[in-house]
Amino acid sequence: MKDKIYDNLYAIVAMTEKTRAIGKDNDMLYHLPEDLKYYKETTMGETIVCGYNTWLSFPRRPLPKRTNIVLSRHQRDVDGAILMHSIEDVLNYAEKNPDKSVFICGGDNVYSQFMPFVSKLYITMIEEKEDVNADSFFPEVDENLWKLDKEFSPDVYEEKEGKPNIRFTVYIRR
């Protein structure tokens, strides 16, 4: 399975544009309604994969109308989700379910492990005027491996003081 790219395996993330920051203390850096709506619309009816700490950070578990997979080396209580213990388990699932989009959705260690296998990146770029205080980061997006396929702004964006601008991007593997 090494070096195989899975056509139905994607990563979805909201990160700052300069430092690739995604979170602090097991929480998102920003709660952006437009991004949450985009995440929901993009993953609805599909499969999401996350680590146990990301699973615990969800306000509602499991996320409704999606197959939820929690990746953990340990036996865990993940009521309403499928517990898998290895990357290979998730890759086998993706291979056996080619009609399902499988979205890797965090945390940073899970993203790093799956980057060699994903075929698309759905990235919400968060404007970063100054470095943010974060403790988790998305892996570098190597432009030799990835090509920007789409870029667009939210349909409606409500400006509030202290709220950064965002744009949605989709990268495909070269």
pLDDT in tens, 58-88: 999 999 999 999 999 999 999 999 999 999 9
Residue 53 resides in a domain? yes
Residue 1 resides in a domain? no
The residue among 164, 137, 151 whose CA lies nearest residue 15 is: 137
| Cβ neighbours, 10 Å, residue 38 | 20
How far is the CA of 150 from the CAs of 81, 93, 110, 124, 173, in angstroms? 31, 27, 24, 11, 13
Residue 58 resides in a domain? yes
- Total domains in the chain come to 1
By mean pLDDT, which of 1-5, 98-102, 149-153 is the weakest? 1-5
The residue among 58, 108, 107 whose CA lies nearest residue 81 is: 58
How far is the CA of 103 from the CAs of 9, 10, 123, 169, in angstroms? 6, 5, 12, 15
Residue 120 resides in a domain? yes
pLDDT in tens, 116-132: 999 999 999 999 988 89
pLDDT of residue 103: 99
pLDDT of residue 170: 98
pLDDT of residue 162: 75
pLDDT band at 1 (very low <50, low <70, confident <90, very high): low
| Residue 16 β-bridge partners | 126
pLDDT of residue 172: 98
pLDDT band at 156 (very low <50, low <70, confident <90, very high): confident
What's the pTM?
Answer: 0.95
Q: What is the CATH number of the domain that holds 26?
A: 3.40.430.10
pLDDT band at 2 (very low <50, low <70, confident <90, very high): low
pLDDT band at 3 (very low <50, low <70, confident <90, very high): confident
Residue 135 resides in a domain? yes
Pair 113, 87: CB distance under 8 Å: yes
In the predicted structure, residue 167 carries a pLDDT above the cut 60: yes
| Cβ neighbours, 10 Å, residue 171 | 22
**φ/ψ bin of 25: left (φ > 0), alpha (ψ from -120 to 50), beta (otherwise):** left
Find the domain containing 139 and state its range.
6-173
Percent residues over pLDDT 70 in the chain = 98
